[in-house]
Amino acid sequence: MKVCIVAEGCYPYVVGGVSSWVHSLIRQFPDVEFTLAAIVADRKSRGKFAYALPANLTEVREIYLNDSQWLQGGKRNRMAKLSLSADEHAALRGLVLGEHVDWTVVFRMFRKKNMSIDRLLMGKDFLNIAREVYELRYNNIVFSDFLWTLRSIYLPLGFVLQFMPAQADLYHCVATGYSGIVGSMAKELYGSRLLISEHGIYTREREEEIIKARWVQGVYKDFWIEQFRKLSLCAYQHADLVTSLFENARSLQIELGCPEEKTVVTPNGIAVEDYENIPGKDPADPMIHVGAILRVTPIKDVKTMINAFHYAKQREPRLKLWIMGPWDEDEEYAQECFDLADSLQTKDIVFTGRIRTRDYIGKMDMLMLTSISEGQPLTILEGFAAKKPVIATNVGNCEGLIHGEADSLGPAGMVLPVMNVGRIADAIVELAQDPAKREQMGRVGYERVCRRYRIGDMRKTYEEIYQKMAEANGVPFPSEAAGQE
């Protein structure tokens, strides 16, 4: 069996989160051949992998969302007149208007030899469709601005639609969006199976990002949000199976248009035994260490964390904050975090950069996560495996992990509202001043992760899914695929 993983903006370029999950999944099935279709911003990321690729990952093909198109015939060919057939015009119109989209025709259109995205977006058909959308919905803004915004939305989609994925028996997309488009296109092209595994719900995450974004204003936010909804709906329609990490996420997928019968919950899993003999805190150390294992990016809301720690530190001087993870993904935001820590003049805030989690996590007294969006954070499961209580914001499955969904063990930490500096600071102080509570919550977390979130359980779940997909596609699946950790 050959599996093509389709990933956007994560593996193998950045560490943590979804990337760690993908890397672990590939290693769990050493007898399965994997390829990777990796969607990244531009060619500057080409080949800059943060992981040593497993031996059974045999090929990586990259897709660049911001790129230039190279066609035979040069500029003359690129700017030549482009004529769309009636069904192609109808499919493009449906795509832009958000009406019924004939994706089969869309996929076929972009497979045409020397199909020029430039000619399509600068051509008469696209102009007429844009004018129709404008007159129906957006005639209170400047048409030229609207037209260029529309072109900027469809240019990256054009590059995705022209990508040629490696042939595989199963396409496993770790999000909808552009990844789901590649998987849907490949399914139609090769007659293969399509599996979608959402960690966060792509449509909702993009919506949150666009609402907060500075680069898009006014009604254009709505247009971008609608575009990502269309892409996700395409993936849901084409998928044979759609997984989520917890029940509320599954419900949201159904609300966003995924047929209920395609959905299934598949929780994350980690190698709990990897955290058994890790370095611990020096008993003579008087400080109370708060660990945050994350990428320093806006979605992790590190600024709220720093501010909350600042106020907690004023009430409990023994506190020390360790912000552990890379900051090169969004260097501008990272610098803002560094500057905030400096301006507050709060002692004992350490930015470690990229770390090996097991070298640090055992030395912490508690972990903290102040994200504005999450799926089912691996960092919480890692904290539980290390018997550490966790303070987290109420996003994704954080509440379910900390308070329990399928057990009555009790809380393994504290769950607070997003961006609530005061409440988060109170929680830090409360746990800092109550070592017995920290120990009890740590025990609960350990018991919870052992019961439900082991890597072996996750591997068994995906082994069953892969086997069913292989059988449906008439290809053999290795029956003795002993996993690795």
Q: Looking at residue 223, what is its pLDDT? A: 85
The pLDDT score that the predictor gives to residue 115 is 83
Residue 472 forms part of a structural domain: no
Q: Does any domain span residue 18? A: yes
Domain match, 139 and 208 both: no
Residue 76 is predicted with a pLDDT of 46
Give the model's pLDDT for residue 37: 98
Identify whether 355 is part of a domain. yes
Buried b / exposed e over 71-93, threshold 16 CB at 10 Å, is: beeeeeebeeebebeeebbbbbb
Residue 69 has pLDDT above 80, yes or no: no
- Report yes or no on 157 lying in a domain: no
Contact 197, 172 (CB under 8 A): yes
Amino acid (one-letter) located at 374: E
At a CB cut-off of 8 Å and minimum separation 6, what does 193 contact?
A: 169, 170, 171, 187, 240, 469, 472, 473
**What does the pLDDT read at residue 485?**
45
Question: pLDDT at residue 52 above 80?
Answer: yes
Query: Encoding tokens for residue 41?
Result: 């911003």
27 and 83 belong to one structural domain = no
Say if residues 59 and 166 touch (Cβ distance below 8 Å): yes
Partners of residue 366 on adjacent β-strands: 290
Residue 234 has pLDDT above 90, yes or no: yes
pLDDT at position 137 is: 84
Specify whether 125 is located in the same domain as 243: no
Q: What is the mean pLDDT of residues 244-261?
A: 96
How high is the pLDDT of residue 80? Answer: 53
Indicate whether 25 and 82 sit together in one domain.
no
pLDDT tops 90 at residue 77: no
The residue assigned the tokens 């979804």 is: 18
- C-alpha angle 176/155/88, rounded to 5°? 85
> Which among 165, 185, 180, 73 is positioned nearest to 119, based on CA atoms?
73
Cis before 30? omega within 30: no
Per DSSP, the chain holds a count of helices (H) and strands (E) of 19, 13
Q: How many domains does the structure of the chain reveal?
A: 3
**Domain end among 265, 281, 315:** 265
Are residues 286 and 339 both part of a single domain? yes
Q: Which of 240, 265, 290 is the endpoint of a domain? A: 265
pLDDT at 16: 81
Q: What pLDDT digit, counting tens, does each position of 169-228 carry?
A: 999 999 999 999 999 999 999 999 999 999 989 998 888 888 877 777 778 888 889 999
Shared domain check, 15 and 65: yes
Residues 172 and 210 in one domain: yes
The residue among 234 and 97 whose pLDDT is bigger is 234
**235 with 263: CB under 8 angstroms?**
no
Residue 483 pLDDT > 50, yes or no? no
Cα distances from 266 to residues 134, 198, 250, 367, 453, in angstroms, run: 42, 10, 10, 25, 10
> What CA–CA distance (Å, rounded) separates 289 from 268?
27
For residue 400, give the CATH number of its domain: 3.40.50.2000
Mark whether 314 and 250 lie in a shared domain: no
**Whole-number pLDDT of residue 336:** 97
Q: Is residue 477 assigned to a domain?
A: no
Closest Cα partner for 176 from 253, 246, 103, 105?
253
DSSP-based three-state secondary structure for 44: helix
466, pLDDT greater than 50: yes
Is 345 in the same domain as 216? no
Sign of the torsion angle spanned by Cα atoms 468, 470, 471, 476? negative
Residue 279 neighbours by CB under 8 Å, 6+ apart? 359, 362, 363
Contacts of 283 (CB under 8 A, 6+ apart): none
pLDDT at 424: 98
pLDDT band at 70 (very low <50, low <70, confident <90, very high): low
Could you tell me if residue 468 is inside a domain?
no
What pLDDT score does 81 carry?
A: 61
The DSSP output letter for 195 is E
Mean pLDDT (the chain, rounded): 92
Alpha-carbon span 83 to 228, nearest angstrom: 27
Tokens coding 371: 């994200």
| Degrees to nearest 5, angle at CA 37 with 31 and 42 | 145
pLDDT in tens, 132-162: 999 988 888 899 999 998 999 999 999 999 9
With contact defined as beta carbons under 8 Å apart, do 375 and 265 qualify? Answer: no
Residues 129, 255 within the same domain: no
* Structural domain ending residue among the three candidates 125, 152, 179: 152
Do 52 and 116 belong to one domain?
Answer: no
Write out pLDDT tens, residues 21-40: 999 999 999 999 999 999 99
Q: Does the pTM exceed 0.95?
A: no
Asked if the structure places residue 326 within a domain, the reply is yes
Query: What pLDDT does 196 receive?
Result: 98
> What is the number of other CB atoms lying within 10 angstroms of the CB of residue 419?
15
Q: What is the percentage of the chain residues whose pLDDT exceeds 90? A: 82
Q: Is residue 458 part of a domain?
A: no
Residue 297: domain span: 272-452
Residues 387-424 have pLDDT tens digits of 999 999 999 999 999 999 989 999 999 999 999 999 99
Query: What local confidence, expressed as pLDDT, does residue 484 receive?
Result: 46
Which residue, 125, 120, 182, is CA-closest to 155?
Answer: 120
- How far is the CA of 10 from the CAs of 3, 25, 153, in angstroms? 18, 14, 21
Mark whether 187 and 283 lie in a shared domain.
Answer: no
